[in-house]
Structure 1
Amino acid sequence: MVYIAKVAAAIAAVCFAGSAIAHPGEHHDHSAIKREVKARDQFAAAGKRSLNACSNSLKAREFNSRSVARRAERARSLRERRGITTKAKKYRRDLATLEVYEAVDHNETSLGYTTATPEATIFSANTSCILAPENTDGPYYVTGELIRENVTEGQVGIPLYLEVQYVDINTCLPIEDVYVDIWNCNATGTYSGVESGQAGLDTTFLRGIQKTDAEGVVTFETIFPGHYDGRATHTHLLAHQNVSVLANGTITGGTVPHIGQVFYNEVLRSAVEATYPYNTNTQAVTTNADDMWSIVGAGTTYDPFPEYLYLGDDITDGLMAWIQVGMNTTADQSSSSYYSVAANYEADGGHATTSTTTGGGQGGGQGGNGSAPAS
């Protein structure tokens, strides 16, 4: 029996009181953040209108059907590969009750799903008609990472198989040949590739690049990110188009049409952090509602939470998660204040740029990624 419950978006107040606590070197101007959040939400609303105009076309419906079938096969393949024979579980939110923040129903019998439940119900995407918002890449983005699917490099944590599918907001069809950077902190809140109290410039764990296929899909094998002071738990994504692929297995040039972050609901985060080594992390937890970027403040305009599936009956069996990202292919964020490069990874190792901070106001504490863009 498949057990279903989705992650939840909600309406929450923007929390900007006091100084943000974050990784060393971060600075935050909360007035600038408030302006950027407003601009982001207006951009998201415009994108959603574009998606709504094309979402019922025959090609868009066929595309979504193929996506459902692919995710179902991916889940079966992952379970077989990991030797999991216990029941898979999917968690569901009530999409009609967006006012109730992260209302999660864990009662299998009350949901009424059985092995006969159509895969379209289980493996549909939460964002097929919703634009994922533009968001800062934070102060710890590193260029020159390798093209690879598995980015774990031996990091210990809950296995996370993440599928991201890029959709053109004007056609509702997949976008092929997008090179997608992914990065997040490890189970105890530390980033690779940077200094400022982190793992160091010559480390590359939990970072990598993949190219979208004909269905607009990239998949990464990673671990569920840990938490750190000042930011809600998240994974960074940055999309490139029209790049050149180098002989050393990385990319250069091109445009940056989308910068975003994927977030996870509190119930899932709590379940992960009850396991080792997450439970050794002593940094303060910041909830989604208290994140400086007000990630749950746009109601139904966008949804930054992926759907997810327990591959077995225990979270330590691993997670499969998926999300669709609506993207404007004509945009380019590479010259905007959202785009900030902390370091460049080259043949002889990592090299810090001249500055890894943006905005104003003093930050402090340890761990993190998610500085405000310059005003």
Structure 2
Amino acid sequence: MVQLSKFLAVAAACLAAPAMAHPGEKHDPHMVKREVHARDAMAAVAKRSLGGCENSLHARELAKRNVARRSRTVQQLRNKRGVTTTSQKWARNLAALEKWEAVNHNKTDILNYSPATPESVVFAANTSCILTPTVTDGPYYVWGEVMRQDVKEDLYSDGVDTFLEVQYIDINTCRPVPGALVDIWQANATGVYSGISESGNYAAGGWDSTYLRGIQSTDKDGVATFETIFPGHYEGRATHTHLLTHLGAKLLPNKTLEVGTGSVAHIGQLFWNEVLRSAVEDTYPYNTNTQAITTNAEDTWSIEQADSAYDPFPEYIYLGEDLDDGLFAWIQIGINATTDYTDNSYYSIAAYHDANGGHENSDISALGSAPSGTNSTMPSDSSSASASASSSA
């Protein structure tokens, strides 16, 4: 039995505050409220759909493969990093999230595991969450990122190494969704996004920078993995990681997506619990970030994602005794593979990369449409781009 390291997640969530650091992110609060109600109705249907197939043979076999894969991945990561220490494992109780105990962090339920706890108990701890695409991609989505698992670069990617596994499940069949192309992007440790240079977010490398952005395709079990860092915070938003999922999109020889192909099946944001965030931000270079911290309880979108049918908080485990050894995190996302949110108001493209580098999308009114000036041969060579950022104002 593999001896694992430190711990699994505690839940955290949710209340509302304006997203000041996203100057382009403006939504009518009344419209948002209506869409949240509609989302809740959709979630109830999706939850019943998942309930009808979660005990099927293929779903049980997938669950077994998940446990084996996660256990194997953690052991491989530990071996690669030379981690030999063992420590206590913790896991959260999903019922605590469903009862909104996570809102009051003093009531968060923590279950103690011994170092001998079987991997089948640890790595089966997922919640088959449903993150509907009514959650904004924000104004910092960049079209033209390249296929790469490791999205860290030499500059402006320092932080707590985080190995993230994202698994997509079709809510109608409980089967994995292979071949999905998953975009990931997030702020660096000082709270700055690459690829954007405008009020609220000035990357030192400007529109040409590409750090902490990339695309991966899901495998036969619906799994995409990324090597990244724990995201930094910025004023007005809780700490989060962005995901956007394309189905049926064409991958070009230069490892970018062809404009106008495929559908947008999911737009989501992953949130991270306050216990982990606080621990991370005590470390360098996060502790140099001078921007105001917004908790999950103060964030607009976390409360709009967290619900009894939703769970936007990844499970995680320390690879060693402390954060220096890195984290392994995982989450299941239930999607309706037949839905397309390309024309949804929350899908907007702020910038794009082509052969000449990064550019602002001049037609910002065309939400969900291809960026102005794009073509079907847009290479985005991250090695030639200036990957850099400075702290936000």
TM-score by length of 1: 0.88
Q: Which ranges in structure 2 are unaligned for 5 or more consecutive residues?
A: 368-390
Q: What displacement does 1:49 show?
A: 1.6
2:228 alignment partner AA = T
Name the CA distance, whole Å, in 2 between partners of 1:50 and 1:58: 16
State the alpha-carbon separation in 2 of the partners of residues 335 and 297 from structure 1: 20
Whichever structure has more helix as a proportion of its residues is: 2
Deviation readout 1:40-79 (Å, 9 max, x if unpaired): 3332222212111111111101101101100000000000
Pairwise CA distance, 1:251: 1.2
CA distance in 2, matches of 1:145, 1:272: 27
Contact 1:7 1:264 in 2 (8 A): no
Distance 1:280 1:62 in 2: 46
CA distance in 2, matches of 1:24, 1:358: 17
Distance 1:299 1:194 in 2: 32
Matched, 1:331 2:330: no
Aligned partner of 1:148 in structure 2 is 148
Q: CA RMSD in A?
A: 2.3
SS at 2:342's partner residue? coil
Letter in 1 for 2:241: T
Given the superposition, is the C-alpha separation of residues 38 and 285 from structure 1 closer, same or farther in structure 2, using an over 3 Å criterion? farther
Aligned counterpart in structure 2 of residue 172 of structure 1, from 168, 171, 174:
174
Q: CA deviation at 1:112?
A: 4.5
- Number of aligned pairs? 353
Structure with the bigger RCO (C-alpha within 8 Å, sep 6+) is 1
Alignment partner, residue 362 of structure 1 = none
Distance 1:39 1:358, change over 3 A: farther
Partners of 2:300 and 2:113 in 1: CA distance:
38
Counterparts of 1:46-195 in structure 2 under 5 Å? 46-87=45-86, 90-98=89-97, 99=99, 100-101=101-102, 102=105, 103=107, 111-115=112-116, 117-128=117-128, 130-134=129-133, 135-154=135-154, 155-195=157-197
2:202 to 181, 184, 198: 198
**Which residue does 1:363 correspond to in 2?**
none
Aligned to 1:211: 217
Task: Provide the C-alpha distance between the structure 1 equivalents of 2:280 and 2:122, rounded to a whole number of angstroms.
Answer: 22
Q: Distance in 1 between matches of 2:310 and 2:188?
A: 27
Distance 1:36 1:27 in 2: 15
Percent of aligned positions with the same letter in both sequences? 55
Distance verdict in 2 for CA 1:358–1:144, change over 3 Å: closer
* Aligned 8 A contact 2:318 2:325 in 1: yes
Counterpart-to-counterpart distance in 2, 1:21 and 1:265: 21
For the pair 1:245 / 2:251, whether they are aligned, the reply is yes
Give the deviation of 1:85 after TM superposition: 1.0
Q: Structure 2 vs 1, CA of residues 174 and 244 (structure 1 numbering), >3 Å: closer, same or farther?
A: same
Instruction: State the one-letter code of the partner of 1:198.
Output: Y
CA distance in 1, matches of 2:163, 2:302: 26
Extract unaligned runs of 5+ from structure 1: 360-365, 369-375
Q: Distance in 2 between matches of 1:68 and 1:287?
A: 31
Equivalent-residue separation in structure 2 for 1:357 and 1:198 (angstroms):
22
Residue type of the alignment partner of 2:90: Y
- Quote how far apart the aligned CAs of 1:105 are: 6.2
List aligned pairs for 1:271-350, cutoff 5 A. 271-295=279-303, 298-350=306-358
Moved more, 68-77 or 299-308: 299-308
CA distance in 1, matches of 2:363, 2:87: 45
Q: Is the 8 A contact 2:7 2:318 kept in 1?
A: no
One-letter amino acid of the structure 1 residue matched with residue 84 of structure 2: T
TM-score scaled by length of structure 2:
0.84
1: CA distance, partners of 2:215 / 2:131 = 19
Shift of 1:194: 1.1
